[in-house]
Amino acid sequence: MMSMMKGTLFIIAGLALLAGCAVHDVPGGMSFSPKERWAILPILNYSQEPLAGERAEAMLDTLLRMRGFTHLKHYPNLDREDTLPELNERRRLDQALNWARSEGLRYGITGTINEWRYKSGLDAEPAVGITLQIVDIVSGEVLWSSSGARSGWGRESLSGNAQKVIRELVESIEFAPEG
């Protein structure tokens, strides 16, 4: 009886360990049309890895186009050549929202990078934490938000783990029926 109980606890502990490798929080109820005019807005980088937001934006662009987003525009570099680049992430997002309004776009997709690194240790496992948001360009209201995190194995790449998380978040966006 005791060995059976230990075996059951071992299995439960193993499943809990595997479940801790990936976390996703996905809301339901809101649906969007990929045929609308969309903007990829800045993904704010709150990690310590330089350019993690821009890397995520490039992956997001590709994954959205694969899902059928046909009217997708990427915000331009709004920094003036005679000044230093904008380092305030929120100001950069506000500038991109203003650009999207001037372009007459309907929805924008933005988010945050909360973690983008290799963990220290012998195996240096990749760890990624990302939040995506869909905003109404005119009002700035957040219409949909979803978060995901993943910690991979030592042999996996950081960008591969990031792409898996972003893919799962993009696939969780509900589409309005064509009509």
Three-state secondary structure of 11-68: HHHHHHHHHCCEEEECCCCCEECCCCEEEEEEEEECCCCCCHHHHHHHHHHHHHHHCC
Location of structure tokens 């995506």? 132
Least confident of 2-11, 118-127, 149-158: 2-11
Q: What is the mean pLDDT of residues 133-146?
A: 95
Residue 157: CB atoms within 10 Å: 11
pLDDT of residue 15: 40
* Tens digits of residue pLDDT in 24-66: 555 566 889 999 999 999 999 999 999 999 999 999 999 999 9
| Beta pairing class for 107-118 and 126-136 | antiparallel
Distance (Å, whole) CA 31 – CA 29: 7
The CATH number given to 22-175 is: 3.40.50.10610
> pTM to 2 decimals?
0.80
The string of pLDDT tens digits covering residues 70-119 is: 899 999 876 666 666 667 788 889 999 999 999 999 999 999 999 999 88
